[in-house]
Amino acid sequence: MKRGRTGILLLLSTIFLSACTHVAPYEKEVLATQKMLSNPLSERTAFESHIYPIREGTSGAESGFQGGCGCK
């Protein structure tokens, strides 16, 4: 039973951990593309962050200097 568990654990490790690999700096072409950014559409984000506080009436909700209560 114990051996079976270890076997399953090893199998799962092989499946999941093999995806982790060191990417050499000279092989990061695909990683350097715009779509790989956590925020690829910066213009859209700027637009949304402008619209959102107006729509929700929560000025300052997205920035770090106010509490999001709507007061200035």
| Residue 62 structure tokens | 């997205």
Round to whole Å and give the CA distance between 44 and 52: 12
* Cα torsion 19, 23, 28, 31: sign: positive
Size of the site for another protein (CB under 8 A): 16
| 35 near another protein (CB under 8 A) | no
Candidates 7, 33, 42, 45; binder of another protein (CB under 8 A) is: 33
Round to whole Å and give the CA distance between 65 and 45: 18
| 65 near another protein (CB under 8 A) | no
Candidates 7, 8, 11, 13; binder of another protein (CB under 8 A) is: 13
Candidates 27, 43, 54, 67; binder of another protein (CB under 8 A) is: 27
| 42 near another protein (CB under 8 A) | no
